[in-house]
């Protein structure tokens, strides 16, 4: 047994925060449960929680939590950790996850460049804007992202992150 929060130990303020995070990520296309897990792992103590502890705290089924943790781990928003002498896996937000998530934007922009280039080769005559708008957006980020990324690095260096 760990010293994690029990469901009733989530204060109303923390629970409201978890719900706001869940709503935010759901509006962005992530499932509500995945957003709730992100919110919970942001405010829980200790920072690393078992699947069962997460399910209990959020009132979610074990299957839902398992599925969402796999999804979140796949996009590196959650990491699985082990404790010496404990067979159970724990899940937590990776250190500096938000900075790392933004930092991985280079890969997404490069991937979108490939999609735009390949799309132009098979673009139908009607509604060419579907590929053209993707190409336009990618060109914008290819131009702007390196400068913005450098500014972010400088900001974080000054902040001591």
Classify 7-94 by CATH class. Answer: mainly alpha
Nearest CA to 10 out of 38, 55, 52, 43 is that of: 43
Say if strands 90-92 and 79-81 run parallel, antiparallel, or are unpaired.
Answer: antiparallel
3-state DSSP call for residue 11?
Answer: coil
How do residues 56-79 score in pLDDT, each as one tens digit?
Answer: 999 999 999 999 999 999 989 999
Give the CA dihedral 25, 27, 28, 34, nearest 10 degrees: 30
How do residues 131-150 score in pLDDT, each as one tens digit?
Answer: 999 999 999 999 999 999 99
Say yes or no to pLDDT of 7 above 70. Answer: no
Cβ(51)–Cβ(91) under 8 Å?
yes
Kindly state the percentage of the chain with pLDDT values over 70: 94
């Amino acid at each position: 047994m760990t010293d994690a929060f029990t469901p009733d130990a989530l204060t109303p303020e923390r629970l409201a925060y978890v719900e706001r995070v869940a709503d935010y990520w759901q509006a962005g296309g992530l499932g509500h449960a995945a957003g709730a897990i992100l919110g919970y792992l942001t405010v829980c103590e200790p920072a690393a929680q078992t699947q069962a502890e997460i399910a209990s705290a959020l009132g979610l089924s074990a299957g839902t939590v398992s599925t969402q943790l796999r999804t979140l781990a796949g996009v590196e928003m959650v990491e699985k950790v082990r404790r010496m002498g404990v067979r159970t896996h724990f899940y937590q937000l990776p250190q500096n996850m938000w900075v790392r998530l933004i930092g991985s934007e280079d890969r997404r922009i490069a991937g979108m460049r490939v999609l735009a280039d390949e799309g132009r080769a098979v673009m139908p005559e009607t509604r060419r804007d579907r590929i053209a708008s993707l190409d336009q957006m990618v060109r914008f980020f290819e131009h702007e992202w390196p400068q913005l990324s450098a500014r972010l690095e400088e900001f974080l260096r000054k902040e001591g992150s």
